[in-house]
Amino acid sequence: MKTYYKLFILFLSVFCGFSCSDDDDKTRADITLNMEAVSSFFVNDTIILDSQQLQAEALTINWEKATDLGADFSIDYIFRLDIANNEFETSTDPEIINDEFKKSYTTEELNDLLLERWLVFPGDVAELEARVVAKVEGPKFFYPEIGTCFIKVQSFPLPSEPLYLVGTATAAGMNPAEAIRMEEVSNGLYYTWKGNLTQGDFKFISNRESMLPSLNKGKDNQTLVERKTESDPDTWFTIEADEPEGIYAINLYRKDMTIDFQYVPFENVYLIGNGSDAEWDASQALEFQWNQRTPNIFTLQATLKEGEIKILTARDFGSYTFKPLEANGSIQNSTCQGENGGEDLKWVINEDEAGDYLITLNTVIPSIEFTKID
């Protein structure tokens, strides 16, 4: 009996030894990295960004070194920054920072993140959350040490920097005084315009008094270059003779010096049919929504019921029409066609398909998606 008792005690001690060892490893889950935010722009507890000091270091986040686990282990410090209490779903890209145990931002960098990434209204105060995860790699598992830090930051509005469209492809011609002002969606950063262009050239100027300075065509139709003097190359964007005249949508990103312009064959599209609330009254046809960034894609959220539908490009049954490839088309099929006249084809909504839908029409491919909303 004494022998069995000793074996039992030995087994129990070994078992407890392993269990306690595992628990010791897991206690690292409770260890946090100390972090602090440092800035010369603090006013009380808020960093007030200064538009006159764009390149100044506005924020530095420091953290301590994680527990040294020996030569067999390596530690990566993974840094992220996001709006506070957002579960880091819109955070900056993860950065591995292993040398200095800190991350710094200039005024311009921090303000751009606030306005462009997190859509903070200019001048508002936002609370940010920084996080560092000390991830361990080695022959044995250890929980990472984690540190978080909260910082209040007040953004500032960027100054307006108007841009104007000019050139032989526009109604302004070569007269800068008649140049067409673009919509400045985000001051100095993002501009849009939708209007008529003909065969010819165009570029962008900063005022209606001179052709300089200007934003001209860069290496291709997607890039911009600034022209400051008469000696700089005067390259223009061109609507070629074999390209369509009509409505174009322009998106211009001044910070990235990129541009996108596309021909827009249809300014509007409308849903009609007794499978919708419009019935067959063209004046009540349901108008799709249009997005400047995706000018040839239209969306509509609508209730569909048992019946038939098609899509017009004007509140007129004689307009160019989008429809299925065959009679009694299924809304499960994404293929479609567009034409003037032709056979009067329609999509059919069956009784068991009725409900709320998001309808997405690409007028260029063309294609259509009916996505049921639960």
Q: What is the pLDDT of residues 256-299, one digit of tens each?
A: 999 999 999 999 999 999 999 999 999 999 999 999 999 999 99
pLDDT bucket at 27, cuts 50 / 70 / 90: very low
Band of pLDDT at residue 15, cut at 50, 70 and 90: very low
203 versus 19: the higher-pLDDT residue is: 203
Angle at 264 between CA 281 and CA 323, to 5 degrees: 40
Q: Are 263 and 240 in contact (CB under 8 A)?
A: no
Residue 18 has pLDDT above 60, yes or no: no
Residue 116: φ, ψ to 5°: -95, -45
User: CA–CA distance from 148 to each of 33, 225, 276, 296 (Å)?
Assistant: 8, 41, 52, 44
How does strand 164-166 pair with strand 125-137?
unpaired
**Distance separating the N- and C-terminal Cα atoms of the chain:** 69
Tokens of 271: 């849903």
* Residue among 362, 312, 352 at smallest CA distance from 332: 352
Q: Is the pLDDT of residue 188 over 60?
A: yes
CA distance 23 to 41: 44
Find the helix or strand (DSSP H, E) in which 358 lies: strand 355-362
CA distances from 17 to 20, 46, 81, 361 (A): 5, 50, 41, 65
Query: What is the Cα–Cα distance from 185 to 191, expressed in whole angstroms?
Result: 5
